[in-house]
Structure 1
């Protein structure tokens, strides 16, 4: 396959979303935490219905990203009941494969993605999300911390927090939980023909709410790669924005691409950027952030990446929809132009 663009980050497969994808020239779609029946796992029939509806529109369902956090939070935290959750997760992986979906994206952040501002002003007054660790550190209670959690990736009650200044779970314990989880899940994914795509921590900091994080710097991903023992089912949903948020910014982006792309371990990419790095950054339009998008596209092609690119977080433009059609159209068009130019220069 060749490098291409998909439309994604929605949880309901509407006719409007499919028309938008077709009209803007994408070849496929991705769904994030789709609204499907099942409180603990997903079934083949429901997943297959998504594939068939997508194909009827002349598109490909490239991947599903994320099950709800409460499907596997005990597995992430090493709590009683984790084996039952892992068994259900494996059943979901099998169902994904049986439905004909090649990739299941996942993260290992028990308390998910944090932001301290969702309407920080950006270029031309567009609204952006921001993260400022100083705001988190100033929180005085769990209730104040809870305001930074997302509401769309699973039940907030499954997202653990401890009182400010205390540790609920440390990094090495989290590594043990990750290894236990992958030892069980990777063989099932291999047998099902499903690739598991790991998303970086967002924001990439060592700990939030007393819960350690693992994938906040390139070294963590390299350790996970070793844990996978060469499994073809292990790889990355490489969020360029998360990598750009890391200390080093564009250097972290380059390191991740140059290490993992030649190994065919980047399954797909969130193409977005930020201004600044942790502990304080703001999301922005492509082309005004830490990295040069032309250089990154060239790096991807030079290093053999042949997966798909995806719109991800985008600024909220005036008059836009809640899903940000305008912002996504800008991001998708930018990516399409980059791909065409990079391919032209490679062939010249």
Structure 2
């Protein structure tokens, strides 16, 4: 029996023949649709090297702006972009020095949220300049807030190890003053201010192909308001209404998963369908991928691996809706031996990176 007859009689030839093209029939490796990101500041060489050390390759950047302006010039944006690229990092979003998450009484540029003319028209014109300049430089998104009360918390509680967690408990909250400098702002007034802004900036964003990502109100408050303010972007229904104003592919959300979880009675069950609602409509432009323990009106902000939301399930929902942008940590726990929360951020980067990799294979 020659070699060919032997192989044929034993079936080895069939096995060998079928094994050769096996690689051609292997499943195509899956790819995660999203990227690990961060929005921590400053965007300087030291911090960029810190981010690169932990595998963060896409970030929200903060340009150095001269002369107290609230818009960055093309040159200022280009310098930031070039510095990031020298460190192997891309700027996927820009944080301006206006419409931040600060309390209105400490906000440097409050006119838009106070509906104070002619100052708000001047500030909106400057925001339009920022959109145009970002478009010219190739920076694809701007994040912003439409907040009067800022981020509401009552203090800190002990966490695991030597860290502490930020806490909100409405029943124990005591505002420093009955009203802010904005006075009474009911829902109709708040929606008017939001609409006035969107009508003037969304068409510019569409023209220059720059996504505008608005952060929800953190946290939501009862319908009667807090410090005289009805936080209309503090409910899922409010966010649903928001995305219908000036409906446009470049108008959407800086979807803080932590903040949205804070709106819910049972975030561990409800958050996934909220992600689906906005994700299928392509209205999620950025994700603060953080966790909480608790529910609406009573919660603490914890590490991503120990809260009430199943983060593995959550990231699979983002993959399901083909969310294509950044997942980033936010509001990390603090510790005396961890200046600026750099260790907590590093832990969160690794956690998010691992979850993203788990989607692939």
- Shared topology, TM-score over 0.5? yes
- 2:217 aligned counterpart, secondary structure: coil
Residue 39 in structure 1 maps to residue 75 in structure 2: no
Matching residue of 2:167: 130
CA–CA distance in structure 2, aligned partners of residues 110 and 193 of structure 1? 28
CA 19–239 in structure 1, closer or farther in 2 if over 3 Å, else same = same
Deviation of the 1:291 alpha carbon? 0.5
Deviation of the 1:34 alpha carbon? 5.0
Matching residue of 2:237: 219
Cα deviations across residues 61-117 of structure 1 (Å, max 9, x unaligned)?
111234334575322232222222211211122122223211100111123212211
Count of residue correspondences = 318
2:277 to 259, 271, 278: 259
1:67 to 84, 97, 106: 97
CA–CA distance in structure 1, aligned partners of residues 108 and 249 of structure 2? 24
- Structure 1: 5+ residue runs without aligned partners? 146-159
- 1:197 aligned counterpart, secondary structure: strand
CA–CA distance in structure 1, aligned partners of residues 302 and 281 of structure 2? 30
Matching residue of 1:8: 39
Point out the more displaced range, 107-116 or 286-295.
107-116
Contact 1:106 1:197 (C-alpha < 8 Å) held by counterparts: yes
Matching residue of 2:354: 337
Contact 1:48 1:100 (C-alpha < 8 Å) held by counterparts: no
Cα deviations across residues 21-47 of structure 1 (Å, max 9, x unaligned)?
21211222223x655224342222212
CA 40–16 in structure 1, closer or farther in 2 if over 3 Å, else same = closer
Matching residue of 2:57: 27
CA–CA distance in structure 1, aligned partners of residues 259 and 217 of structure 2? 7
Matching of residues 252-331 of structure 1 within 5 Å: 252-317=270-335, 319-322=337-340, 324-331=341-348
Matching of residues 138-177 of structure 1 within 5 Å: 138-139=174-175, 141=177, 160-161=180-181, 168-177=184-193
Cα deviations across residues 189-213 of structure 1 (Å, max 9, x unaligned)?
1112210001111112243321221
Contact 2:262 2:299 (C-alpha < 8 Å) held by counterparts: yes
Residue 247 in structure 1 maps to residue 283 in structure 2: no
Larger Rg: 2
CA–CA distance in structure 2, aligned partners of residues 34 and 49 of structure 1? 8
Matching residue of 2:214: 198
Matching residue of 2:196: 180
TM-score by length of 2: 0.82
Contact 1:285 1:315 (C-alpha < 8 Å) held by counterparts: yes
CA 306–161 in structure 1, closer or farther in 2 if over 3 Å, else same = same
CA 35–205 in structure 1, closer or farther in 2 if over 3 Å, else same = farther
CA–CA distance in structure 1, aligned partners of residues 70 and 48 of structure 2? 25
1:77 to 114, 121, 126: 114
Matching residue of 1:87: 125
TM-score by length of 1: 0.85
- Structure 2: 5+ residue runs without aligned partners? 1-31, 100-106
CA 73–255 in structure 1, closer or farther in 2 if over 3 Å, else same = farther
Matching residue of 2:78: 48
Matching residue of 1:150: none
TM-align CA RMSD: 2.1
Contact 2:35 2:325 (C-alpha < 8 Å) held by counterparts: yes
Cα deviations across residues 247-280 of structure 1 (Å, max 9, x unaligned)?
2323442232111112221111111111112312
Contact 1:243 1:252 (C-alpha < 8 Å) held by counterparts: no
CA–CA distance in structure 1, aligned partners of residues 90 and 199 of structure 2? 30
CA–CA distance in structure 1, aligned partners of residues 285 and 360 of structure 2? 19
CA–CA distance in structure 1, aligned partners of residues 274 and 109 of structure 2? 27
